[in-house]
Structure 1
């Protein structure tokens, strides 16, 4: 079990550098109070007009029925490893608000900020998260009876870090491959966007 801490161009905080997306989870449970803290952290993310347009449906492995419902929406490749996480969370964007169902163009962006805040809080408690787009959105809306204005966006697996050796390929190789990111000069520009 090793945390993949990358080298950075600039002195990025340890909290950010230590956040990564493993697929190997240990059988250790996340304490209920810690899970509540992680979930509450999402509420402190910034959002347009403070609408907080996000919703989380979650289950721990102990809540077998709800956990199975969440597992049932995963695509097969993600199901192989995510079933070993301690918690599964379906993160959704609330795309309209108010009595007139006014569209919220920033709902997905705001949900992303909430998810990032949740994941950083998780690392404070030695918990790791892996965000997945590989799930059946239509089935998720049906299984969880979502209204029209609630859009399932990602599923998050949470748990304590396990051993890479417990994973089959191609997941083992992904787990042990060093992390990399684009260089700062490839995405941040002082002035005009390069042509």
Structure 2
């Protein structure tokens, strides 16, 4: 799948989010970060950047990295099992421990509330929390995090990336068809890459993509 093949391997390779990358990059240089809250609509790179921050801080090892997707289990019991039990143990090599709570707006309020104390008291643990709907995150968590709103990738940056992938894959999708994909994916680069792959693999190449998008307009 092209979305995996062209997945950025470092913060510098991420398309867009220049201000965020600059700020977060400075913390990584210092080998420490605050708790982060990344929020915004799906497909804007929240989880990707969270994982890259952990990778660059921890040197590519997963030993001090804990990840939980709140959409899988929203309960207090799950948070206690994965998060609270995880921070009881010392970190390896004295490094930070990074806990990624993905789609945390899916957590029940009591499950969010038990995060307050470990976020304050654990000197070696940093939380990176992602959410589609920031209003579903309790104030006690928001006040303990440095927050960044993720917006869609702008059209110029998206087209630049789509052209690179098209040319690298020797696809015959035209610039006009790329324009239609970029316009209709509304800043969601992940969706745009998937649409480009689908159009490139079809027998009619991009014709069906063009037809479908023109019908929408």
Larger Rg: 2
Structure with the largest fraction of helix = 2
TM-score by length of 1: 0.28
Structure with the larger RCO, 1 or 2 (CA within 8 Å, 6+ apart): 1
